[in-house]
Amino acid sequence: MKAVGLIVEYNPFHNGHYYHLQTSREAADADVVICVMSGYFLQRGEPALLPRRERTEMALQGGADLVVELPYIFSSQHADWFARGAVSILDQLGAGSVCFGSEQGSIEPFLNLFDFLQARRTEYGRRIREYSSLGYSFPKAASLSFQHMAPGAHLPDLSQPNNILGYFYTKAVNELGSSMRLQTIQRMTAGYHDDQLSGTDISSATSIRRRLIGNTGAPETVEQALPAPAYRYLRNYLHSGSPLFEWEKYFPYLQAKALTLPASWLEEIYEAEEGLHHRMQSVMKRNSTFHEFMHAFKTKRYTWTRLQRFATHVLTGTSKAEAAAAMETGQADHIRLLGMNKTGQAYLNTIKKQVDIPMISSLPKDKTPQQKLDEKAAAAYYLPLPPDERRDRWRSEYEQPPLFFES
């Protein structure tokens, strides 16, 4: 069976995701679509709007055959580590190709870009350090450095977010020595960061989340942007009284940690550097909402995304030592199964003896460093729930089998 791999967040699953999934299957002529999906906290340092089990269900309804989890240490990371973790899982699962959405829309420029930056990596690194020393954030420093090297119009524009991820997927496949083929699909209509619904069937996940949160979870406000099964699932989820998980609900817990724990503890949190922990404590005292806090916390040197990731690591209590242990091998050390259909199940049966790392459906008693962080992420993610629901959700992390979807 031929498999294509997708690296996703589905926050939430919308028409653009459905298009990408179906078009990737066709482009790869694949029998199986494998989705490596972020779990509790996402690449931009945000809690997932819906729990991972609910997003798994929406993915399977949308045509995915197998959904597995991207561990926390990779899902809440900058693009390089995010890509590396996800690609390592797809490689272990025997995917013949990985297909990503991009603004560029064709794969050859990404292959040329990798060669271009590899040949100039010393100069590129030096220029990034120079721009960073002037107070620019890392993404801005990298973008300016890239432009300074006169890459030419034939290479992808690295100011575009999906092109950036595409480059790091290309880099990960090469650095891991994977035989997976790289493919890309042109991103449709809405930009990654667009915060308003487009008025067409394709809107960004950012705009959908903003509309749902701003309208207290009214699903009809985003119906046009979601496939019918995903919309029905979201509507039923919200009408049952289940919550949307967003940063404001975590702010009291983040505030409690920042204001009651000593600065020496915060300094040991992953991604605490250059006095960020002191700044967090100072700013936290003067703000009463997460949005206000972030506006005050934001600096020229650090992007909103970078600071949200730091806040996530404070919330989960992820230390530098724990992160270093979890990233030691540079790859995922397990595959956590979230859901599948009959096709996905059949595929697993054909490749399971070829997989070199454990495939699990719940966290084992003796946990690896990556699994320990996943456990902490789950505990933090469900904090906004009432105590009984929180207890039930924590228990389900260990007792529920992977979803099985019968189409």
C-beta separation of 25 from 4 below 8 A: yes
381 is in an annotated binding site: no
Q: Is 286 helix (H, G, I), strand (E, B) or coil?
A: coil
Distance CA 407, CA 396 (A): 24
* Length, in residues, of the chain: 407
Binding residue per annotation — 163? no
Does 112 count as an annotated binding residue?
A: no
Give the span between the Cα atoms of 39 and 52, in whole angstroms.
5
Is 14 annotated as contributing to ligand binding? yes
Q: Is 12 annotated as a binding residue?
A: yes
Q: Tell me: is residue 121 an annotated ligand-binding position.
A: no
Q: 291: annotated binding-site residue? A: no
16 annotated to bind ligand: yes
Residue 360 annotated as binding?
no
Q: Can you tell me which residue has the tokens 């498999």?
A: 3
CB 99 within 8 A of CB 183: yes
74 marked as part of a ligand binding site: no
What CA–CA distance (Å, rounded) separates 344 from 348?
Answer: 6
Cα–Cα distance for residue pair 163/343, rounded to 1 Å: 31
Is 347 within any annotated ligand binding site?
no
Helix (H) or strand (E) segment spanning residue 340: strand 335-340
Q: How far is C-alpha 119 from the geometric centre of its chain's CA atoms? A: 29
Q: Is 10 marked within a binding site?
A: yes
H runs (alpha helix) in 261-340: 263-267, 276-284, 290-297, 304-316, 320-326
18 is in an annotated binding site: yes
Asked whether residue 277 is marked as a ligand-binding residue, the answer is no
389 is in an annotated binding site: no
Q: What's the CA gap between 247 and 237, in Å, rounded?
A: 19
Residues annotated in a binding site: 7-20, 101, 162, 187
Residues annotated in a binding site for ATP: 7-20, 101, 162, 187
